[in-house]
Structure formats: C-alpha cells, structure tokens
Structure 1
Amino acid sequence: MNHVFKLLIALGLFASSFFVHAQAAQDAIQSDDNFYDIIMEGEGLTLEQTADPAKEAVSGVSVVMDKEQIKTTAQIGLVEDVMSSVQTMPGVTFNGNWNSEPSIRGGYPREMQTVLDGVYILYPWHWGGAYSIFNPHMTDSVKMSNGVFSARYGQALSGLMEVTTVQPSEEIHFDFNITSIATDLFVQLPVTKNFGIFAGGKVTYIEGYIGAYKLFGGSNEITDALKTVPYIRDFYTKVYWNPAEKLSLTFNAFYGSDGVGLETDDTDDGEHTTSDFDFSMQSAFAALNAKWIPTDNTQIKALASYNWTFENLTYNGTVDGEFKYNEDFLEQYGSLLSDEARASKKYYLNTQNEKQKERMIVHQLQGKIEGEMELNASNRIAVGAEEMWSRSNTTQKTHGWNEQLKGDFPYPDFYEFDYSIRDKGNNVFKSATFALWNFGTDASLFSGEAGFRIDEFHIKNYSNDFSLNAKPVFNPRAVLHYTPWRYLEHFDKVSFSAGCGLFSSVPMELMVASKDMGIKESEVSQNRAIFAVLGTDLKFNEDWNFKLEGYYKHYLKRMFAVADDSNPMDTKLDARFDGKGFTTGFDLMLEKKNGEKWDGYLSYSFVMARFKNPYTKMYDDQTTNYGDPLDEWYYPDFHRFHTLNAVANFKFKEHWTFTVKGTFATGTPKKDNGDIYCYPAKLEDGTVIQRYTRNSFYSDSLRTQISCPVDLRLGYKKKVGKSSRTTLEYYIGAEDVFLNLYSPKGEKGFNSRTGKEDDSASSANFNIGIPMISLGLKISY
C-alpha cells in the first residue's frame, strides 16, 4: 500500500499547489459573457442537453473516435471491423493480422474490459479473436480509456473500451453495404416522435466464392480442406421509447454466430494422417437501460442485462503408416529394438486415434443503478452500485496419447489415455459500489474527477460444496486537469493532466477453481494494480491537436496458475496470487481534423512491460497455464517496444477520398530453440518408435522481425440528385499491400514422428500469404 499512498499524496500536492489561484482564474473566465452563455446554456439537466460520457475524450483518461473517423479505417478489408480503427489509437499495441484482441499500455489483453452501451460483454470476438462483433455501421463512437478511467466502471486492469451504438434519428434512414464477402443492412425507423427502432446485421457469403471456385476446377490446400466455410451471422437491434418528457427507455439485443470446419486426409513419406475439425460459437445479450430526470438537477440511470455465450469444438484425428529409423537413431538406440526392427530399419504404426470434444456455456447477469446530482454549473456528484453473476458450464472429453517414464525402461512410454470432465461451474458473484465527484467545466482553470469503488466477489459451487470469499478492495481514483491558456494566437487550448488510481478485476482462472487446487481463502484476492499518468494536450488553431502522456503501472496482486501435467490422468493445478509486474511508457498523438484537402493522425507508443511468476519449476520447460515463464522476469509474448501508426485521408478531388493506413511495430519475444533431436519411446505392445523433439526456452533478447503492414482505400461518394437524401459510395481496399515484398516470419514447425521441418516459417502476422483485396458498395438513405 506504500505505492498507493505515495502516488495519491503526490497527486494531492499537485492539486493544492494551484488551489489559491484556481477560484480567481475561474471567476475571471466566467465573467466573460460568451463563456457564461456556454456554461449556463439551459438550466439543469435534460435528456437532450446531458453529455454522453462515453463520447467525451478526456486527457489522461481516454481517446475517442467518432463515426466519421471510424468510417475509413474500419471499412477496409474482407470483414469491416471497428477494431481496425481501435488498433491505431495511442497506447494500443499492434497485434498482427487476424488478431483483434489488443494489449493496452503493456497489459495482458484479457485485462481489458469491453462495454457496449453500458453492458459488460462476455466475449466480443469472432473466429477466435480475428474480428470483433462491433460493426462500424452500428457504431456511433468508440472510447478507449487507457488512463485513469471513471469509478463508474470496474473489472479492468488495463483499459476500458466503451462502444456506443447509433441512436435512431427522427427520420427513416438505412445503410446498405455490400463487400467482397459480406452484406450489412441497418435501418433506423422512427415509429412515433417518442418511439423508434434501429436494427440490422451482417451476413458473410464466402460459400459462394468457394463453390464457384471448385465448380470451375479450382483446387488448393485450403479450399480442399474446408468442410464448413468460415461464416459470420450477426443481428443487432436497439429500441428507444420516451414515455414521458423526462423518462427514456432503451432496449438492446444482439445475436452473433461464427464457425469453421476442416477435413483432411494426407499421406507423406509413409505417414497417413486424417483430421476432422469443427468449431462454432454463438453469443447473445439483451439489455434494458432506463434514464429518469425527476428534477432539473438530478438524474437516475438503471441497467439490467443478460449475456450468453456458447462454444462447441470437436476434433477427430488418426495417424498410421510405415516409418523408417534413421542411422543416428539405430547407432545410438539399436540395442533397444527387436531383431526384426533392426534388420528392416523400420516399424509399422497401427492406427492411433485422437479425439477432443468441448462444449462451454457461459451465462452472465448484470444489474446497475446510478444517481447523479448537479450541485451547480461546476460540480456534479454521482453514486451507484452494480451486481453481476456469472457461471460457466463445461463438458470436455479428450482421447489421446502421452509420454511418461514407466517401469525399468529408461525412456518414456507412449500410451493411450482418456480424460473427461463435466462441470456445472462456479457461481461467481461480483458486487461494487461507487461514488464520484466531477468538478469544473470546459472553461475552468481546474477540472477533473475524484471517486472510489469498493469491489468484492465470492464464489459458490452448490453441487461441489465449494466456496471462496475474497476481501473487498477499496479503489480510489482521481484525475486533475489544469488549463492555464485558452484562445491564444496559435492555440485554442493548452492543458495538463495528472491522474492516479487503483484498479482490480476477478481473475478468469477462478471461474474453474475447485477444492483440489488447494486455494486458501485467506490468500484469495482480485488482480490489482496502481496506475499513474501525466500528460499534456495542445489544441492548435485550424483543428490540429497534439497529445503526450506518460504512465506507470505497478501490479500489487496478480494471479497465475501452474499445472503439473506429468500425469494427464491426474493433472493438478496450483493457484498463486503473488504474481509481480509493472508496465511503463509513453504515448503521443498528432491529429489534423476536418481538413479540406486532407486530414488524419499519427500515433506512437513506447511500452516496457515486465512480469514475474514466483514459482519453483518442477521440470525445465514447465510454464503457467498461459505458457508464461516461471521464476524469472520476462516480457509477455505480445510485447512490442515500439508501435507507430499513420492514417491519412487525401481528398484530392470532389467526392474522392484516398486513405492510407500504415503501421510500424517492432518484434515480439521469440523463444530460444535448440536443435531437433530424436529419442526412443515404447508403445504398449512393446514396439520402440522414433520420436523427435527440441528444447525451447524463454529468451530475454530474441525477437521476431518488425511488422509494417500498409492498407489502402479509395472511395467515391456522391449524393444521387441535388436534393436527394440518397448517397452512393463505391470503394476498393487492399490490406497489407506489401505482404509479398516483406512479411515478418515466425517459427518453423516440425513433425514429431518424422522430424521433418516445415518448408517455410509461419508468418508472425498470421496472414494468408497474399494481400486481401476488398470491393464495396454503400447505399445510404
């Protein structure tokens, strides 16, 4: 707690040092009639005048992208996705293609919380994280809180992403979008003055392309293996109703599904393998939001939601064939073989089956209520509480093969095993109360927010008679903005910010906690970190803006789990709550808005992130359940020191816009791999087979190559007729256009039965080997 008090005291001294001047300066500013009119526009709170905090960018707290900024960067590629824009924000580490889950200022991706219109979303991703569910046509704004965000929200250690959907307008409006592989349609339908509907969705149709390709004799490794062509099916609706002048109700609902199926049958150098893989995922939520303004200076908001996710995965594989011993193996281990095997220099492998089936259903209920009061034009207070319940029901069956030393044979046996589990899952209850004070206005010398949250959770499994109760944690937060200059010759505003806060979240591993993990209730804790930020924001004339922020985060508590899987029939998990870590760095953003000929922005992030899992290894290559090293300081596998993004929209001719989006990112940590070597293993029938492996160890110095993808988009947009409300837009886009000239490489894999190394290294960006070209037609009315 010493870190907490030191940083909070420093923040308090920063505020108090200017306190004497603050009131005098604020009085001087408000004495100007123009400022007074801006501040006092209308009396009290109304539904129309209340600012939406999810759309406000705040120095030291958040960056916001509105619908216009999202349009070009998110509407490139085979699947249009808001995350394509989010990944260019400062503080967001580049993840590579086909991976949308971001790391925010050095934190693990799972430390970020995602909120859609106030609802905590369980799993907002398609195709295992390749794309998000956030369609740019349903999104009004995205707020990435990478600083000291409001006490209104919790359950996040490294960033809060708030997505606000389109509010239906008072006129009929629709957006129809056709791209290379998908169609989107969204309609805004005002039924009455106080009642309206916004609805639509996305459907992909890659099946048609694959079918046509095969019909005309096309064939390649990928299309031949596809049994179920990758698909996305999404539907979203938003209904608003204002039954009274000061009462607003909103109902949101979403359903999404995606999946893929692959089937192969190959023979190579005597090895015959088959595989049959199916994956599907469905997610849905429904939420009711209510906003009531009982008096001119009070507001009450309430939220109730249900979230549901279903995952289904099946895999069946076989291997058999004739395999040859190599000369080195025969020389070193020939004495272990039968006379027949030594003479023939080969062995026959009877069919070995591998099977896996996993079904997971996750439920989540959320309730939240918040009251806000405006004390005067410069001060507002708010209090609230939220309650969440979640449970994960899991069915898992695994049939496979494992190696383990048995008996007197000096090398491992290769034996068959079955493992199954059917778990109703733990009931996880999360509770929180919060209070906050917003002070100052846009015209104040000082402004900011101070508040706190009290977060607690407990776990109960009624069928297994298992429970855990964690101690509540107190999470104070404060952000102060100091704006000494406004409306100068070259600047509209110059401000400085400082913030500090405590953040906590319930570890995901506790969803599957059980008695045999030996968790002591006295040790159970939320993941917890203290975060501090300092920054400046310069708004130049002519819509230029420059932002620079530095930060430091220290982990006070961090859970990790280690599995002893030497015997897969009796895997034991050991949970620890003493994980260490820190992240530090700085971000900058230079932005040009609303340019007549061009606009865009440049963002840069430097990140230093180090973690440690204090645990004495039982064997050399033992790691945490997430594959992280044990008992040494390490960079996480997603870490990049530098990420630079550049986005420019060139309006070179009326109706035409040419967009360039480029990224330069240094490499991620790479393991130090030894040579591939062979060793003997014995089957249950006594046959000695030749296996291959290599030792891999964490390296503090090795890195993959840099990544530098460049995306292009050319769009033509024009109204149909001079007074028409109909707008047409045609565009062509290309992702990673220099892929064939330069592509960062990852590791080369190898076959553990034959020792054969792959011909080429996998791409560190998970691309498909060619630039992705997309065409689109958009019709708006």
Structure 2
Amino acid sequence: MKKYLLPIMLVLGTLRIFSLDIEILDEDLDLPLEGARVAYSGGEVFADPDGKVSVELPGGARRLVFSLPGYDDKTVVVQEDRKELTVRLRMSGIIEGQELVVEKAVPLVSDSQAGVAVAVSERQMESTAQIGVVEDVMSTIKTLPGVGYAGGWNARPSIRGGSPSETTVVLDGFEVIYPYHWGGAFSIFNPNMVDSAKLSAGLVSARYGRNISGLLEINSKTPDKPSFGFEASLTTTGTEAFVQAPLGKDAGLLLGGKLTWMEVSFALAGADGTFNQVPFIRDGYGKFFWKPADRLSFYANAFFGSDGVGVKIDSEPDEDSTIQTKGAFDWINLTGILSGGLKWLPTDTLLVQAMGGWNRFHERPEFQSTSSGEVEYSQAFLDKYDGDGTFDLDGADNGTINGAASFAVDGTYFEFLEDEVTDIFQGRAEAEWMSPAGTGLVIGGDGFYQRSGYGQEVDGYSDFFQGGVDLYTPISLVIDTDDNMVLNSGLFALVEFGSSEDAFSGEVGVRADHTYLWNDDISIQTWPVANPRLRFAWRPVRDAGKVRSLSFTAGGGLFSKLPFFARLFEERYGFEDFDFAPDRAAFGLAGTEIQLEGGWKFSLEGYYKYYFRRTYLTETPETNPIEMEIHDDGIGFATGFDLMLQKAESRWLDGYLTYSFVYARYKNPLEPVKEGQSSLIDGAPLGEWYYPSYHRFHNLNLIMNFKPASRLTLTVKGSLASGAPKAELGAAEPYAAVMRDADGTETVIERWRRSSTYSDTLRNDLSCPVDLKATFSDYYPRSKIRWEYYVGLENVFANLYTPKTNKSMDAFTGKDLSGSDEADFTIGSPVPSFGFKLSY
C-alpha cells in the first residue's frame, strides 16, 4: 500500500481547489480595468466593471497571465494560501488598440525591480530619445540612476564607477559585441524599433555572464498585431520607416530601416567642403514572430548597419611658422546580427527558452597626414641652446643654430590604420520549473565563440627618447593578431522565490564561467571561475492607505568579464596555461523603494564594488617598434548611492529626477620605469591610486513633461555633473630634439613640452546642458492614422557657458591651440532638431 501513497497524494493535491479574488487596476491612474483577461491553465475569465474577478484554481502554485488591449501583459505566480490579489497593468507604448499577447517569464523582461533594474517603455523614451542629431535610446539610458554623465556624442557611459566596456548589451537576449555608430557616439538602437529597455546596474541575475558593472537589455517590438501597421518619420538628419504585417493569424513580420541625409545639413551650414564623405548611418532591421500555439512562440531578428565619415585635413600656418598639414581621416563601420529563439511552456510548471545567433563587427579607421614648412627658432630656444656646443656645434652665440635661423619639417608624416573584423557565435538555453510552493528552479548554459582578426599599423614622426637623446623620428607600432579565438562557456543554476506581489522574493544562484584562448601559435587555458549571486526583497507594506508598497532590497555576488583587448594576445607576451584570467569584482547592494498613490515613486540604493583582478597594458620604454606588456594585477573599488524620484505618466505632469554619487579609485601596481609613464589606452598613472578618466562625483538629471493640452507635451531635460579629472600641467619649455629622417639625415629642431602629472584634485568644469522639446500629436479625423511632430533645442545655453579643460599645445611653437579646451563635445551653439512622424 505504501508504494501507492505518494501517487495518491499527488493526485489529491491536484484535485484541491482554492478560490482567489482579484482586482485589476491601471498602474498610473489607479482605475479599475473592465474586461481585463486572466488566463490560466484550464480557462480564462474577464474582469467586471469594477475591475474585479474571482477564479477557482487547482491546489499548488499557479501562473496567471493578465492582459488587456493597450496594456503590457503581466505574469504572476500565486500560491494556494493566497485569498486576494491586486494587479496593476501598465499602459504600453504602442499604437492605440494594439494588444501584446506574448507571455513572459516572471519577472517581466520590461519591468523595473527595486534594487535590481530600472526599465523604460517606448512611451517613456519618446521625450528623451526622440530628439537631436540622431535619435537614440541611449539618450534615455544616460539619465537613469547609476549612470555617469557622458556628455554629448557618447553612448558609452560609466555604470556605477565601472569602465564603459564592463557593461554588456543584449538585444532580445542576444549579446551584441559593439552596438554603436561613429565610434561610440550613438548606439544602433533606434527608438522606433524598441519596445522597452532595462538597465541592471550591478546586481545582475546568475543567468548572465560576461559583465562586471551592468547589463542593458533592449527588447525590440514584436510584430504580433492582427492587422497591418506602419511608422514613418522625417527628422533633422534622416528618414526612417517601419512596417508591421501579419502573416496569417499566428505570425507577423516587422521590417524597417534608417537613412541619414546629413549632406543637406552640412551644405546649409557651409561645411560640406570639409568632408570627402559626409557622415552617414544606414541601418536595416527585420523581425519575424510566429506563435503556432498558445504555449509556444518563435522569433528571428536581423540587423545590418553601417556608418562612416571622410574628413579632409588642411590646416593653415600660423604667424610663427609656415607649417601646413594636409591629410584625411576615413572611417567605416559595419555591423551584422542574425539571431533567433523560442519560448515554450509545455506545462503550467515548466518554461523552456533557447536562443542563438551570429554577430559581426567590422571597423576600419584610417588617418594620413603630411606636413611641410619652416619654423624660426624662438628667442627662448636660442637663449637656451645658441652656442652651447652640444646642439649648436659652431659654439658661437650668433642668433642661429648651426648657422641657421630656422628649420624645415618638409616631408614629415603620420599614418594610422586599424582594421578589425570580429565574428561571434553564441547560444543559450534554460529551463525553469516551478514547484507547487511557487519556487522556481532554473538551470541553463550558454556558449560564446569569438573569432577576431585585428591589425594596427602606426608609422610616422613622433617624439621619442632613446639613449639619452630626444628624437623626432619615424616610429612604428605593428599589431597583427589574425584569427585569435576565444571560447567562453557558462553554466548556471538558480532558485527564484516569490514575485513582485509577495512579501518576500528573491534569487539565489551561481554560474561557472570558463575561458579558452587560442590561435595558430599559442593556446591559453584558464581556470573556471565561480560567480555566486544573491538577491532578497522584503515588502512589509502593501496597499496601506496612500502607500502602494514599501520594499527593501539587498544582494551581492561575484562578476567576471574578459577585458576587451584580450583579443590582442600573442605568443610574444609569454602567457602560458592558467597565467591569464578574466577581470573579476565583488558587488554588494542595499536599497529601499516606496510607491505612493498618484504614481509617485522614490528609491534609494547604496553599493560597494571591489575589483580584485584588473588587466591593463603598458609599453616597454625605449623600444622602436613599440612593444606592449599585459599586466593582470590591477585592483580598485567603487562605492556610492543613487536615488530616483519619479512621477508616473499622467494627464498633466510626469517625469523623474535622478542623482548618483560615485567614488571610484583604481590602482595599477606596476611602478613606472620612467617619469610620466602611464598605462596604454586610458593613460592612467602607474604605482598609485587614481580616479578613472570618466569619473564624476555628482550626476544629476531632471526630466519633466508638461501637458497643457491633450495634444501638446513640453519637455525639459536638464543635467548637472561635476567635472572629470584633468592633469596638472607644468610650464611650457622649449627643448632641442634631433629630427632624424629615414635616410639618416639629422637636424636640430625646436620642440616644446610641458609636464602633465596626474592630479587627485584638479577637475574639468561642471557640465550643465539643458534641452527643450515641444511635441504635438493627434489623429487625422475619422481615421487610425496618427501624426506627430516635434521641435527641439539641445544645449540651450551653449552660447553662454561651455565647460572647459586643459588646452592642447602646439609642440613646434609652445602656443595653446585655440578651441582645444572644451571639456564636452559641442559645436559652440544650441543644436536645433525637428521630427515628423506618421503611424497607423
């Protein structure tokens, strides 16, 4: 009889029935949602005019999916001891009457989670992303808590004191290696292709590896509309169009693209003669969605993007010299993405997800310049070297150097070429099983194969110290790492308990990552690294008077990521098995969040991050060609706090205020072997603690949307950030250098230099840009066609104030270069923009 006891108990457990009373409300307006659908295994029910509905469910934990046209779906797991449930649905940012029907795992991909992530919908991004020279989702992301001020033309901000390269970006779960245009000025994520974005600033689930400082999840629109739809827009610098079409009742297709036409803008500004190739962006995007059954869906993404520019260089000589420099800078960048995945819910308690794809990144910048002309020796130089017998060999104090009053630099040149092609193939799969108690067990794995061909050639005249003599001579640097391959594999397991509706929720998990590097000459094995992670949330107050919820969150874990320059490894660096390892850091966080009636929300989070392994590069002194050395003993830490005050979207006013305080210090322990030696790439000092170049103590953002009329929205976006570090400069001094031509001819020339020493106290001026935007929108009479146009003005006070930094110096004359002291990239005046959009 005992052998039948367990099966009988399981059957009886499924026969238990419990009743649940549900109230469904609008998240922003707190109004009941009549007709909201509640789907569960075995049926569906709909809310009454008061937004209420009762449902009877089998015993154990059950998954409920809530949906209503015009609102985002929401999935909630309930246990049988639950008697009442209040669910709030958020309005989607899509066209009126459109319904989202794709089920999502708990928690929702697009939902904000206290202490974990901040999410923004398409509707929320309209005010901040759709403005400027290039409309970009990153314009919104850069205003979120934990994100350091990056300035204009920079889509790669620091997240909670970490390097921009420590943040991983994914598109519909697929990791994109370099999602940027124009060298990082803007991202490839067009607001018109994005449904929502979520930033996890440090406390990332064990599902994801290869990140240290954050995870940015971009969720593209799903073409699941039952009817045809389109969006077309005309902006300051280009045009774009997106079309959605159903393919039968179970599938859909989204196609779109973007094309810039900056030729017009530069021609009107009279600057078209500056370019061999006017800056351009050309992107194409497609997404296929198929849902053959209620519990099974497939998707496929395709993206191809290109950008480039060609700049002419033709500098005019100044009053102290006749030197003229001519040349060109050319840039081309290509990005390709093919990815796809599936989501399958075979039972109420089992969810299976899988994805895979390919990503290619090809970047080729090239710079060439030649200089010619003559420079007179300055009086300061003559006072120092005329008749010294060392550089002026005639020994006479006669106002000349070796009988000449000037020197020529004819034929000096500088050339730079970089060519990188990186292909990435990746895949991941996971399964989530939900126990009768409502606890989710997730197991999965991922693989990341990267093949890189990287070449860099630098050749040209440069200052070089060798054998006790200052030289001005051609030097070279050659890097050729063809077919370097990296394989990163990971396994993860985690337990999720509770949901956003429960008093207690969280996640406990661990992932193990392993990296293997190889090429034709060398292979490098590494030790696997274990990255445990923990997150816990407590909600002691819920729906009490004017307080919707009060929650406290705490968590932490270990994180690792291979540094981006790991693709440069070569046999000459001397690495052997287990000598190399990914960068690693420990992260901890604690925070609280309170939500009030009327859509008000306040959150406060504090964190600490410690780097116990960081990789950095240095050059070997006095070598020509230049040799690099790789070191992996770097350390550092970042700590601070973030706060956010948010007013949810409403009829008259909405927006948010964010503030982040960051204190970040790094150290490269290698002692410098010569004065002023620094690490390559970032120019950081050696042998001392320092603030990274992107560090800012204070970062404040204010976004306000005023709606004086139903068709009009006035947006104010303001930022205030303390300055980034700047070096302490000494006085400019002339010195004698020997210009050594390729044929061995030597000439004593005048050069100028000034010491540049890292400073813990000096900072650039604070940055405080303000943007204004007015948006008008409505529907054409008796139609479903919606029109919208906006006018915007970025950096309104640019004519009155521009943050300053150290000036650059002309090394031939010792004079400061005009216009070289701008701390942020600006054109010196406010930047107007406009846009017109039609949608159906």
CA distance in 2, matches of 1:583, 1:417: 38
Contact 1:431 1:455 in 2 (8 A): yes
2:708 to 652, 665, 688: 652
Indicate yes or no: 2:299 matched with 1:250.
yes
Displacement, 1:535? 0.7
Contact 1:248 1:290 in 2 (8 A): yes
Q: What is the aligned partner in structure 1 of residue 753 from structure 2?
A: 693
Give SS of 2:104's match.
coil
Q: What is the aligned partner in structure 1 of residue 808 from structure 2?
A: 749
Structure 1, residues 462-491: CA drift from partner, whole Å, max 9, x if none? x22x11111111111111110111111120
Q: What is the aligned partner in structure 1 of residue 772 from structure 2?
A: 712
Give SS of 1:148's match.
coil
Indicate yes or no: 2:284 matched with 1:235.
yes
Indicate yes or no: 2:536 matched with 1:548.
no
Q: What is the aligned partner in structure 1 of residue 381 from structure 2?
A: 329
CA 1:481–1:739: 2 relative to 1, 3 Å: same
Q: What is the aligned partner in structure 2 of residue 34 from structure 1?
A: 22
CA distance in 2, matches of 1:249, 1:627: 47
Which letter does structure 1 place at the counterpart of 2:499? T
Displacement, 1:40? 8.8
CA distance in 2, matches of 1:65, 1:639: 25
Give SS of 2:650's match.
coil
CA distance in 2, matches of 1:508, 1:517: 17
Structure 1, residues 534-569: CA drift from partner, whole Å, max 9, x if none? 111101011111111111111121112222152231
Q: What is the aligned partner in structure 2 of residue 53 from structure 1?
A: 108
CA distance in 2, matches of 1:419, 1:580: 28
Indicate yes or no: 2:380 matched with 1:308.
no
**Residues 700-779 of structure 1: pairs in structure 2 closer than 5 A:** 700-721=760-781, 723-779=782-838
1:378 to 438, 442, 460: 438
2:659 to 594, 601, 604: 604
1:458 to 493, 516, 533: 516
Per the normalisation by structure 1, the TM-score is: 0.91
Which letter does structure 2 place at the counterpart of 1:718? D
Give SS of 1:103's match.
coil
Q: What is the aligned partner in structure 2 of residue 427 from structure 1?
A: 485
CA distance in 2, matches of 1:423, 1:473: 26
Contact 2:466 2:622 in 1 (8 A): no
Displacement, 1:413? 2.7
Indicate yes or no: 2:136 matched with 1:81.
yes
Contact 2:465 2:622 in 1 (8 A): no
Q: What is the aligned partner in structure 1 of residue 338 from structure 2?
A: 286
Q: What is the aligned partner in structure 2 of residue 476 from structure 1?
A: 532
Which letter does structure 2 place at the counterpart of 1:752? A
Contact 2:310 2:329 in 1 (8 A): yes
CA distance in 2, matches of 1:50, 1:327: 75
Contact 2:481 2:570 in 1 (8 A): no
Displacement, 1:32? 6.9
CA distance in 2, matches of 1:259, 1:272: 26
Contact 2:313 2:329 in 1 (8 A): no
Displacement, 1:338? 5.7
Q: What is the aligned partner in structure 2 of residue 297 from structure 1?
A: 349
2:634 to 571, 579, 593: 579
2:428 to 359, 368, 371: 368
Contact 2:166 2:214 in 1 (8 A): yes
Displacement, 1:505? 0.8
Bigger mean CA deviation after superposition, 704-713 or 51-60: 51-60
Structure 1, residues 588-624: CA drift from partner, whole Å, max 9, x if none? 1111112221111111111111111100101111111
Displacement, 1:134? 0.7
Indicate yes or no: 2:258 matched with 1:209.
no
Give SS of 1:289's match.
strand
Structure 1, residues 185-244: CA drift from partner, whole Å, max 9, x if none? 111111211111011111110113334x3xxxx74xx54321111111111110112234
Which letter does structure 2 place at the counterpart of 1:708? C
CA distance in 1, matches of 2:570, 2:457: 18
Contact 1:116 1:163 in 2 (8 A): yes
Taking only aligned residues, the RMSD between alpha carbons, in angstroms, comes to: 2.1
Q: What is the aligned partner in structure 2 of residue 12 from structure 1?
A: none
Which letter does structure 1 place at the counterpart of 2:709? K
Q: What is the aligned partner in structure 2 of residue 11 from structure 1?
A: none
Which letter does structure 2 place at the counterpart of 1:270? T
CA 1:246–1:31: 2 relative to 1, 3 Å: closer
Between the two structures, name the one with larger relative contact order (CA 8 Å, sep ≥ 6). 1
Alignment size in residue pairs: 739
Contact 1:516 1:572 in 2 (8 A): no
CA distance in 1, matches of 2:778, 2:245: 23
CA distance in 2, matches of 1:55, 1:165: 11
Contact 1:377 1:441 in 2 (8 A): no
Displacement, 1:456? 0.9
CA distance in 2, matches of 1:199, 1:332: 69
1:396 to 428, 452, 456: 456
CA 1:264–1:733: 2 relative to 1, 3 Å: same
CA distance in 1, matches of 2:425, 2:806: 42
Give SS of 1:610's match.
strand
Unaligned runs of 5+ in 1: 1-29
Which letter does structure 1 place at the counterpart of 2:525? N
CA distance in 2, matches of 1:749, 1:405: 21
2:371 to 308, 316, 319: 319
1:494 to 528, 550, 555: 550
Contact 1:187 1:198 in 2 (8 A): yes
Structure 1, residues 47-71: CA drift from partner, whole Å, max 9, x if none? 7443463212111110000111111
Displacement, 1:312? 1.2
CA 1:137–1:703: 2 relative to 1, 3 Å: same
Contact 1:583 1:609 in 2 (8 A): yes
More helix by share: 1
CA distance in 2, matches of 1:352, 1:559: 35
Contact 1:200 1:237 in 2 (8 A): yes
Contact 2:332 2:363 in 1 (8 A): yes
Displacement, 1:246? 3.0
Contact 1:644 1:664 in 2 (8 A): yes
Structure 1, residues 497-527: CA drift from partner, whole Å, max 9, x if none? 1111111111223211122212343432211
Contact 2:454 2:568 in 1 (8 A): no
Amino-acid identity (%): 38
CA 1:331–1:734: 2 relative to 1, 3 Å: same
Unaligned runs of 5+ in 2: 1-17, 26-35, 42-61, 66-100, 395-399
Contact 1:548 1:586 in 2 (8 A): yes
2:165 to 88, 106, 110: 110
Structure 1, residues 384-441: CA drift from partner, whole Å, max 9, x if none? 000111021023333212444556xx63232224444433142100000001111113
**Residues 618-637 of structure 1: pairs in structure 2 closer than 5 A:** 618-625=673-680, 626-637=682-693
Structure 1, residues 331-360: CA drift from partner, whole Å, max 9, x if none? 211232365745542122221122222211
Contact 1:404 1:567 in 2 (8 A): no
